[in-house]
Amino acid sequence: MAKSIQMDELTLGVCYYPEHWPEGLWEDDFRRMREMNISVIRMAEFSWAMLEPQEGVFDFSFFTRVMDLAHRFGLRVILGTPTATPPAWLTHKYPEVLNATKEGVLIKHGMRRHYNYSSAKYRELSQRIVRNMVNAYKDHPAVIGWQIDNEFNCEKNVFYAEADHAAFRVWLKEKYGTLDNLNKAWGTVFWSQTYTDWEQLHLSQTDTPNPHLALDEKRFISDNVISFAKLQADIIRELAPQHWVTTNGLFGHLDNHKMTDELLDFFSYDSYPQFSSVFYNENETKPLLDRQWSINLTNVRSISQNFCVMEQQSGPGGWVDRIEMGTPRPGQIRLWSYQSVLHGTDLLVYFRWRTATFGTEIYWHGINDYHNQPNRRVREVAQVGGEFAKIGSLIAGTTYQAEVAFMQDYNNNWDGEMDVWHGPLQWQSMRSWFKQLQYRHIPADSIFLRSNTTLEDLAKYKVIVYPHSAIMTDETAELLTRYVEQGGKLFLGARTGYKDVNGQCYMRPFPGPVAGLCGITVEDFTLVKGKVNAAELQWEGRLSAGTKAVGFNEVLSVQNPEAEVVARYSTEYYQGEPALTRRNVGEGQVWYLGAAYSETVVDGILDELGLSSPLADRISAPAEVEIGIRASKDASYAFLLNYSDKTVTVQVKKRVTDLLTGTALETDVAMPAYGVMVLEL
């Protein structure tokens, strides 16, 4: 069972940086927060230089004064350990703590997250500041919990300091025991890469490293981060067992599931939906834009079913030199807030209270502008605060409901970063499935396949999409077989099952361990790129003319008469050959597509399955509206979120009550641009 935050009501918070402002502003800030129903502040995660201005000289008085005043106003405090930004005296005196570029050049002071996790000195000094900080604040009545560091692996998720190379060797020795085992796992006989001494081993420093080394490197980085976080978590558990422990972010080369299981009380996320509107394919039809951020929130929910959003976007974003964004339109901040709540957030902390007047993030706007005068963002957050006060005790603790899940795993995600033969297919298929499920109002979960994943974990889903798991073991194939036999519908795709856990290719017919389950093998195949065209697909009654098999084309060969050909290729030299198959196994079905999934193909499959919205008999809404349900044993609540910049009409088929307005609805309802409804079912 995933670890979850435990809140009695939906709770609103804000990131606060008192070190950025004259002390005379604090009291008015806290008074206004309470008027907006903000009851939590998060601070101090970048404050090491204040807490330890000189080596071994500590001063905790500043934040004590802040917390004393915050406590007077009934505000609770989340403290961040300050190890994301070491002070200049530290990096100057101990340059070995710095991260390095691939070329070995040290990354100098002046940014953030410029340290490495491996340095014995950095670990020593980090433990010291955390121990002293926790000792100083552990008994303060305002403190409720701790955020370890800040956004592990943000900015940099690769490491090349000398300490990292040394730590990698230690990790490899522990994993493989002997160089013979390592050489076999990495296939080092290729290109005469064979290692004869542990000192010859380094993290990848070429543009095209040995792919098996590269996969292990990402596993090492993840374990290294977790071991660094553990140093801090252990101190907090020892000195302040009454406080909860979390950390924030969702960045590369880190097994957040493992870290949460081993160290945290729950996971926290930083939610900036406008990223999806800034960085997207301009040629895409009907893009999800900010609604696409629900994919990220779905992934977070697989770590903690109910979680904290430690940073919720509350204004336009931008550093001085990048990530420039337009201002959220009226209603969007509220919309994005409820997007987080729908997907499992019970503690929502806005970034930030007031926009910084100096530093790299002077354009990363908060609720308040520089001038500190009323604005529409303040009014919008105050509206959310009032609504949380009204519905918060009903929603908190309820959980997102879904019968469809998209499955992934860290090994394939990390291997796919380098491997262009299967990596790009993953995002193509996930986006296509998520997009069409969204537009049809069918909620979906994310599930990460791990060594401790059980049949019970999978069986709660009627449909699981696990499209391009190149790395596949026989044990995983057995678990998937049992899932199908008990009634599940499993969807696989091109490049499934041809690699082992080291990333080496099996000498067995594709799709390897699941070939028997699917009842097919792959007779021929081609990557679709450049001058190589995607073949068109034919599936009578389901696919429109011209629908293409995108990304990759595998020519399937039916080996088991129980495997039925559902769609065939209608162009290219393999015209008429099987492209999509389906086999009934026990009470369930396994489908195999010899390509990546496109939106059109997903639509055809959803029509064939007859999947529909769980609210189809109660609510009819246009595609622009996201629909989801949070429920407990005793109650369920439907969230309707309008991502459109226009008013849309929602048809109510059975009488429901909108909790935000207290209005009973039983006819057509006009939902304004960026509008939100929370319906008691």
β-pair type (307-313, 268-271): parallel
Closest C-alpha to 563, from 543, 592, 596: 592
Instruction: Say yes or no to pLDDT of 157 above 90.
Output: yes
Instruction: Say yes or no to pLDDT of 325 above 70.
Output: yes
With beta carbons less than 8 A apart as the criterion, state whether 589 and 425 touch: no
This model's pTM is above 0.85: yes
* 3-state secondary structure string across 402-422: CCEEEEECHHHHHHHHHCCCC
Residue 578, SS3?
A: strand
**Residue 649: which pLDDT band, with cuts at 50, 70 and 90?**
very high
Closest C-alpha to 65, from 102, 21, 123: 21
Q: What's the DSSP call for residue 87?
A: -
Instruction: Say yes or no to pLDDT of 279 above 90.
Output: no
- The arithmetic mean of pLDDT across residues 461-465, rounded, is 98
Instruction: Say yes or no to pLDDT of 651 above 80.
Output: yes
Express each pLDDT in 497-545 by its tens digit: 999 999 999 999 999 999 999 999 999 999 999 999 999 999 999 999 9
Structure tokens at 384: 């959310």
- The arithmetic mean of pLDDT across residues 157-176, rounded, is 98
Q: What is the pLDDT of residue 278?
A: 80
Q: What is the pLDDT of residue 609?
A: 97
- The arithmetic mean of pLDDT across residues 620-627, rounded, is 98
HSE-up (13 A, CA, CB side) for residue 642: 21
Q: What is the pLDDT of residue 1?
A: 67
Instruction: Say yes or no to pLDDT of 72 above 80.
Output: yes
Express each pLDDT in 119-153 by its tens digit: 999 999 999 999 999 999 999 999 999 999 999 99
Express each pLDDT in 399-455 by its tens digit: 999 999 999 999 999 999 999 999 999 999 999 999 999 999 999 999 999 999 999
Instruction: Say yes or no to pLDDT of 285 above 90.
Output: no
Instruction: Report percent pLDDT > 70 for the chain.
Output: 100
Residue 159 CA to residue 87 CA, distance in Å, equals 20
Structure tokens at 473: 């073991």
